Amino acid sequence: MTATEAAATETVAWNGLRLPVPADWRPTRLGLGYLYFEDDDGPAFEFKWRAGAGREGMEAALKALTPKGLATSGGELPPAWLDALADFELMPLSWRRDGRAGLGAALFCPECGLAAVFQAYGGQGGPDPARQAAVAAALAGMTHHDPGPPAFSLYGLSFAAPPGFVLAAFGFAPGRFSLDFAAPGRRLDVVRLAPADVLLAGASLADAAARTFSLEDGAVREEGGLAGCPAVWLARRQGTGLGQVLARRLGRPGRLAVLRHDAGANKLLGAALTAAVPVDRNWLAETAARCVSL
> Exposure pattern of 54-90 as b/e (b: 16+ CB <10 Å)?
eeebbeebbebbbeeeebeeebebbeebbebbeebeb
pLDDT of res. 45:
96
Q: Strand pairing partners for 29?
A: 36
Integer angstrom CA distances of residue 239 from 35, 89, 234, 242: 42, 54, 13, 9
Rounded-to-10 torsion of CA 232, 234, 240, 243: 150
What is d(CA 289, CA 48) in angstroms, rounded to the nearest whole number?
30
**Residue range 195-235, pLDDT digits in tens:** 999 999 989 999 999 999 999 887 899 999 999 999 999 99
Q: Report CA torsion sign: 53, 55, 57, 58.
A: positive
pLDDT of res. 113:
87
Residue 94: count of CB within 10 angstroms of its CB: 19
pLDDT of res. 5:
46
**Residue range 102-136, pLDDT digits in tens:** 899 989 999 988 889 999 999 888 899 999 999 99
Are 186 and 274 in contact by the 8 Å Cβ rule? The answer is yes
pLDDT of res. 57:
65
User: How much is the pTM?
Assistant: 0.86
Residue 53 has pLDDT above 80, yes or no: no
pLDDT of res. 225:
95
Residue 70 has pLDDT above 80, yes or no: no
pLDDT of res. 4:
45
Amino acid at 107: L
Within 13 Å, how many C-alpha atoms sit on residue 166's CB side? 7
- Determine which helix (DSSP H) or strand (DSSP E) holds 211, and give its type and residue range: helix 205-212
Are 136 and 86 in contact by the 8 Å Cβ rule? The answer is no
Residue 101 has pLDDT above 90, yes or no: no
What share of the chain in percent tops pLDDT 90?
66
> Domain ranges in the chain?
3-141, 151-293
- The overall longest dimension of the chain from CA atoms, in Å, is 71
99 compared with 37, residue with greater pLDDT = 37
Q: Which fold has domain 3-141?
A: Jelly Rolls (2.60.120)
Residue 1 has pLDDT above 80, yes or no: no
| Closest to 182 in 3D by CA, of 104, 124, 111, 253 | 253
Amino acid at 249: R
Amino acid at 99: G
CA 71 vs. chain centroid, Å, equals 27
CATH code, 151-293: 2.60.120
pLDDT band at residue 143 under the 50/70/90 scheme:
very high
pLDDT band at residue 7 under the 50/70/90 scheme:
very low
